Structure 1
Amino acid sequence: MSELASGSRVQRPEFAGSWAVVRGRRVHARVGGRVDAPVVVLLHGLGVSSRYMLPLARELAPDFRVHALDLPGFGRSEPAPAVLDVPGLADALLAWVDEAGLDAPALVANSIGCQVVASAMARSPEALGRAVLVGPTFDRHGRGIPRQVARLLRSGVHERPGLVAVMARDYAACGLRRVARTARHGLAHRIEDDLPAIARPVLVVRGGRDRVVPQRWAEEVTAALPDGRLAVVPGHGHALNYSAPGPLAAAIRPFLGGPPPGPDAPTARPATASIAQFDSATTFLKGTAATLHGRDLPALGAFPRPVAPLVERVVPAVNLLPERLREQVYRIGSGSEAAPPGELHAVSAEALARWMVAQYPRREFPAAIVGSSSGALAHLAAALGVPYLPQTFLLPVAQPQVHPDDPRHGLAAGRGPGRMLLDANPDVALHHMHDPNQDRLSLARMTYFRLKRRRLGPAFTGFLAETLPRGATLLVADCRLRWPVTRVGDRHVFQFGALGGMPAEEFRTGGVRVADYLRRYGSDRAGWDPPPVDGDAPEAEWGFDPALWDDLRATAEERGWRLRRVTFDAPAALSPLVADLYRWWYRRRDRPADRLLVESFVLIEPRLVLETGVVPYWSEFPVEPSAAALERYLDGVEPFEEILVTLFQHGTDGVGVAPAGRWRELSAMARRRGAFLGVDPRRHPRDFGSFGRFHRQLAGMPRAAPPAPLTLEELDLFLAGRRDESVDWS
């Protein structure tokens, strides 16, 4: 990583003047940075010069060869006989690139310089490389001098004070007449006419407080580009290159071919703002960590502990609302976690990994679990008293413009943000998931970016090295579940549908169940039209990306750990084994083992399971395949005296949702008592109050100190006496 990317700089990069004769006139540029690095050309805005681009040039210098150009008539460059319009300036740029001997350089332009670059790229597609358009002018909804002046003044309060002096000096040098005529040329030029002809990748960047370039216009510019993507730098105005060069450089450096900004960059998005608190992996991680701290997990760990009891009491009041309003509350609640797509360049997977390991106590453990997500694994980790690090985490991304029943639009809308995210995070794969069956309410405001670590990274490696002694066991959870996907790019796939109440094929072929579902929700479609499938991949939420295996194996060999791989076909395939393990373990500790708790998705509480002495059986969702799996389990084991069932509430009566009556029948397989816990079966699947009741009702049961932890030797003893074709321990 460069000195810049790590937040330090040994010395101020020097830039020297360089001259070229273009069409008989001298053109000036400031040149600096690494001689052997990729070339980047910086282009200034209206009336100013390369001096205005120097703060950004110095930020990029450690990783690029930077040329900051003075267009004809500005800065030190000689003027043309007449004030050039935008196409004329574009021709001058192309001529200078040719004269300077630059081979398709990348460009970074600001303001009206974006119009010049767009015109040049449209006129000569092969002469220039990829481009960054910072604050591209002029917004077609506000063309007019009075409105533009007003916007510029409003945006100016968010710029560095020194910008006024730079502008005054440069305006005086080129003359106000040239500034005014160039401004008129810029207002007359329609950048939107050039954008569709640009074949190269283009990154549009907007300051979050830029009044000259509103968000709507930045999105229109991006959408008009054949290969466009958008980045927003929050808290800054129009002249990012001068007033916020560090954040701007961090946003654009990976796009230009430089190193990612890393978790310590000042622009890095906080981990808590980038991860879904109600996701499966997050809840399993928090539940395991809380258990190792000796704590329970009120409100599913989604709220600070001091306010969690209040939240649990308030949430059931949502059920007092009419059904439509309840659904709207669910939409707003899930959408509130979504990250703006323009800020994905600031998401750091390593920062998220730091947050994940920070949840755990720092002490020596006999083992750790790394890999696929499964609630059963959280209970296994709790029993062994060891940490559990899921490979996958969910990044919710705002996408309100996409209808849940339009997966093709969903893929298209996620393409640019996905590229930005992956450019900044080379060690993860992106599985963009779109499930209009189970996630219909959430998809009204957001989409699901699930990221899978392909390398351990410093945070995971450091935590494991600190807490696992030589001879410890590293359990790798390998869920082999795969799903048909559309490949979008390197490390990027689009998954339509997801594990739940209907098989993958039904999402694509439709049928009576899908048509009936869409009709009930007022859709004008009888089925979905997803993008064509061109392969399969590990299922977005649950599958294990095998790219991580080599890193785990190498680290285990280096650290002297025992490596064990646990393979299973579906996330809940481990649930019968873990339930039987708890029953066996409780009896070895002279504890009762006759009460079963059937958990559902994120409704999971490892610590309270231990304190109440219930046997945990985790199911993915309250759908018919999960009900059938539970029925098979109960048919094959010694009956339980009591069976308690909780049901996760998606808020959607989707295809395959098992009705409350089906779950009541399963709980009735208890010898003495079957009941629901935390959920009102009359309101299933829209009992949003269950999110507040689940923990309170479980915590209200008689509790005692947890049994002594299960040892690895006891685990092996249990496994030796069990045959289970759905799970392989190697």
Structure 2
Amino acid sequence: MRWPLVTVLERTGRPLRGHGVSSTWTTVDGLRMHARLLDHAPPGAREVVLLHGLGVSSRYLLPLATELAPHLRVHAPDLPGFGHSEHPPTALDLPGLADALLAWVQATGLRTPMLVANSLGCQIAVATMRRAPGVFDRAVLVGPTFDRRGRHGLAQLGRLLRTGRHERWGLTAILVRDYLACGPARALATARHALAHRLEDDLAGVDVPVLVVRGGRDSVVPQRWAREVTDALPDGRLAELPGGGHALNYSYPGPLAAAIRPFLGGPPPGPDAPTTRPAAKSIADFDSASAVLRGTARHLRGQDLPAIGAVPRALAPLAERLLPAVNQLPAGLREQVYRFGSGGEAVPPGQLHAVSAEAVARWMVEQYPRRPYPAAIVGSSSGALAHLAAALGAPLLPQTFLLPVAQPEVGPDQPRAGLAAGLGPGRLLLDANPDVALHHMHDPNQDRLSLARMTYFRLKHRRLGPAFTDFLTDTLAPGATLLVADCQARWPVTRQGDRHVFQFGALGGIPPEEFHHGSDRVADYLHRYGSPRRRWDPPPAEDEAPEAEWGFDPALLADLTALAHRQGWRLRRVSFADPEDLSPLIAELYRWWYARRGLPVARLLVESFVLLDPRLTVSTASVPYWSKFPVEPSADALARYLDTAQPYDEIRLALFSHGTDSVGVAPIQRWRALLGHARRTGAFLGVDQQRFPRDFASFGRFHQQLSALPQHPPPAALTMAELETFLADTAGRWPGERVTWS
């Protein structure tokens, strides 16, 4: 911060030089305009223009300029009448300042530079882009003024004083120096012009991408105004910096640069940046990927999974005791608890610039003990895969993770509004994470309660990245096996870009056709929930993509193949059409494994979505059969397995409750009938039959009741040779099996 403060000692017209900063002078409409230049970026770097606010000059832009200079060629002009530039006879109004900026860009020969403006500079920037489309390639508006609800001097003065408490103390010295240089009369006249200007009238005419940035403590720019500005732009996105004030470029330059650099084409901040959001706060606890990751990792550490791993282990017993109290509430209150519980995980959309997929990947590998493994599984999520990994003593790294994003303004039956609300946040996230694909998912059938407060951003790694690569390299020796889990489930999507799709509906109780075209049971469902609609009106789907939650993005396969070749690993690909297609095969693998280890093989444990526990499964000598959801297609699949498999003496069945009587949910009577396949005991595990599918206490009772079953020492892990023997012995035994190994 010393360099900007030294500039307070500059004599007008004679700027200081040094520290990588030089000055340029350009004659514009007969006036000499001064600009500071930071020109030590690599050859071919993009040009960016930094634009100051009311009464100030390029002095207070230097901290941000210094942060951007390693990657961009930075220009910071003083507009006529300010800083070192010559003064016109009278203060220029907003169109006059916009014309001066445009003339300066043309005179300096800059070709479609990018623009970063602060405060009043945002008004000038928008006016310039509106008057001269194509001059700037893209723009960042930092603290855009003025809020239409506070366009008078006293209101703005009060807001400035409140915000000033959150600025760096050195800003005061610069403000005093700059206001003396331009003169109080010019500053007041410019302020009157700015207050009369209606920024919102020009926003719709801006034809380039724009990033709006607001400090969380900025009283000059309330959050609702920043959102209004963003929403009025044809291609706008909003980033928020929780600790910052109004002059982010001076008081918060590092976090501001980290937030805007990817948008400007520079490198993302990365997982080690101080602004990066903690990985544990960027990933949903109540999700399939989190459940299979935690379940597998806990098993490899010799631990079970109380409360599905969603709370710290020390608090899990308390959570399991408290959850039954929720079931005593009326159905409507239980739904509210679910809404707020799931929505509480959501990330504010303006903070997505701080989410790092690589930081999440680090968090994933940190769940596992760092030791040699005979194999690893990378790719799609599936509870059956978690049990395969547990049997092999191998880690499982999901390609997909769920980032819940706050979106309370969109109802579950408004998919078009959901898509529109997610565009800016999605672009902000993708700018900061170039190696992931975003599948924005909106499922008003199964996720009705959650969608009241949040939306689902599912991210798929398209590159391995350092965290996954280092972990696999450190833990797999030459000759180990790298298993690629390739769920080939696909879904109709509305494509927003090469790495961005919107998926309406999801794999579960009804097919895509009913989501997009409706049916009698969809109409009945909407009627029961008080919706005025009788079918949904989603945006048209013109493409297909890997299903958001379960499908494998084949872009990752290239990195997996190359790494396996370099390290001397055997690469095997297990492909399946549906995430629970593996369940019959894994159930029979466990029977075969238990028999070879002298354990009983007649207890079937039917798990449901996140209700799984690999460690307790093997400790209780249970044969796992995992169902993705308690829906009719899953009940049909379980029935086919039970009709084909050797009978079980005992069947224990869990049911995940998502809180709504959604289309396709199999009624409790259907599940009760399936328990009748047991030769001796068929019983629900942790299920309150009267309250299903609003049985939220099942998240605690599942672990309690499973851990109460008789337990055995876990058997020795399967070897890869044993797995190959089993696959060879059982090939072709399962009619309709949709699993291939290659």
Equivalent in 199, 207, 210 of residue 215 of structure 2: 207
Cα offset, 1:158, TM superposition = 1.1
**Residue type of the alignment partner of 1:194:** D
Specify the SS of the correspondent of 1:400. coil
Equivalent position of 1:245 in the other structure: 253
Equivalent position of 1:29 in the other structure: 35
Equivalent position of 2:65 in the other structure: 57
Specify the SS of the correspondent of 1:109. strand
Equivalent in 130, 136, 142 of residue 128 of structure 1: 136
The correspondence of residues 31-430 of structure 1 with structure 2, limited to 5 A, is 31-33=37-39, 34=41, 36-430=44-438
Equivalent position of 1:456 in the other structure: 464
- CA separation in 1, counterparts of 2:384 and 2:294? 14
**Residue type of the alignment partner of 1:31:** L
Specify the SS of the correspondent of 1:205. strand
- CA separation in 1, counterparts of 2:330 and 2:244? 42
- CA separation in 2, counterparts of 1:128 and 1:557? 46
1:15 equivalenced with 2:15 (yes/no): no
Equivalent position of 1:727 in the other structure: 739
**Residue type of the alignment partner of 1:381:** A
Aligned-pair Cα RMSD in Å: 0.9
Specify the SS of the correspondent of 1:571. coil
Query: Once the two structures are superposed, what CA deviation does each residue of 1:112-131 show, in whole Å capped at 9, x if it has no partner?
Result: 10000000110111222210
Cα offset, 1:13, TM superposition = 5.2
The correspondence of residues 601-640 of structure 1 with structure 2, limited to 5 A, is 601-640=609-648
Query: Once the two structures are superposed, what CA deviation does each residue of 1:76-116 show, in whole Å capped at 9, x if it has no partner?
Result: 01111111111111111011111111112110000010000
Cα offset, 1:36, TM superposition = 3.0
Query: Once the two structures are superposed, what CA deviation does each residue of 1:464-492 show, in whole Å capped at 9, x if it has no partner?
Result: 00000010000000011100001011200
The correspondence of residues 468-483 of structure 1 with structure 2, limited to 5 A, is 468-483=476-491
Cα offset, 1:153, TM superposition = 1.1
**Residue type of the alignment partner of 2:477:** P
CA contact (8 A) 2:90 2:186 kept: no
Specify the SS of the correspondent of 2:523. helix
TM-score (ref. length: structure 2): 0.96
CA contact (8 A) 1:581 1:718 kept: yes
Query: Once the two structures are superposed, what CA deviation does each residue of 1:573-627 show, in whole Å capped at 9, x if it has no partner?
Result: 0000000111111111111111111100000000000111111100000000000
Percent of residue pairs identical: 71
**Residue type of the alignment partner of 1:28:** H
**Residue type of the alignment partner of 1:607:** R
Equivalent position of 2:714 in the other structure: 706
CA contact (8 A) 2:323 2:696 kept: yes
Cα offset, 1:183, TM superposition = 1.0
Query: Once the two structures are superposed, what CA deviation does each residue of 1:626-650 show, in whole Å capped at 9, x if it has no partner?
Result: 0000000000011101111110000
- CA separation in 1, counterparts of 2:529 and 2:164? 48
- CA separation in 1, counterparts of 2:242 and 2:25? 37
Specify the SS of the correspondent of 2:686. coil
CA contact (8 A) 1:356 1:389 kept: yes
Query: Once the two structures are superposed, what CA deviation does each residue of 1:421-467 show, in whole Å capped at 9, x if it has no partner?
Result: 11111111000000000000000000000000111100000000000
Query: Once the two structures are superposed, what CA deviation does each residue of 1:507-559 show, in whole Å capped at 9, x if it has no partner?
Result: 01101010000000000000001111111000000000000011100000000
| Count of aligned pairs between the two proteins | 719
Specify the SS of the correspondent of 1:120. helix
Specify the SS of the correspondent of 1:256. coil
1:688 equivalenced with 2:700 (yes/no): no
Query: Once the two structures are superposed, what CA deviation does each residue of 1:182-233 show, in whole Å capped at 9, x if it has no partner?
Result: 1111111000001011011111000111111011000000000011111111
CA contact (8 A) 2:378 2:399 kept: yes
Which ranges of 4 or more aligned residues in structure 1 deviate by more than 3 Å? none
- CA separation in 2, counterparts of 1:397 and 1:123? 36
Residues 515-524 or 698-707, more deviating: 698-707
Specify the SS of the correspondent of 1:146. helix
Cα offset, 1:346, TM superposition = 0.7
1:679 equivalenced with 2:687 (yes/no): yes
- CA separation in 2, counterparts of 1:444 and 1:374? 27
- CA separation in 2, counterparts of 1:243 and 1:164? 11
Equivalent in 547, 556, 560 of residue 555 of structure 2: 547
**Residue type of the alignment partner of 2:635:** A
Equivalent position of 1:5 in the other structure: none
In the alignment, structure 1 segments of 5+ residues that lack a partner are: 1-11
The correspondence of residues 593-604 of structure 1 with structure 2, limited to 5 A, is 593-604=601-612
1:564 equivalenced with 2:572 (yes/no): yes
Query: Once the two structures are superposed, what CA deviation does each residue of 1:280-321 show, in whole Å capped at 9, x if it has no partner?
Result: 001100000000000001111111111111011111111111
CA contact (8 A) 1:159 1:243 kept: yes
Specify the SS of the correspondent of 1:236. coil
Distance 1:281 1:13, change over 3 A: farther
Specify the SS of the correspondent of 1:682. coil
TM-score (ref. length: structure 1): 0.98
**Residue type of the alignment partner of 1:87:** P
1:431 equivalenced with 2:443 (yes/no): no
CA contact (8 A) 2:126 2:202 kept: yes
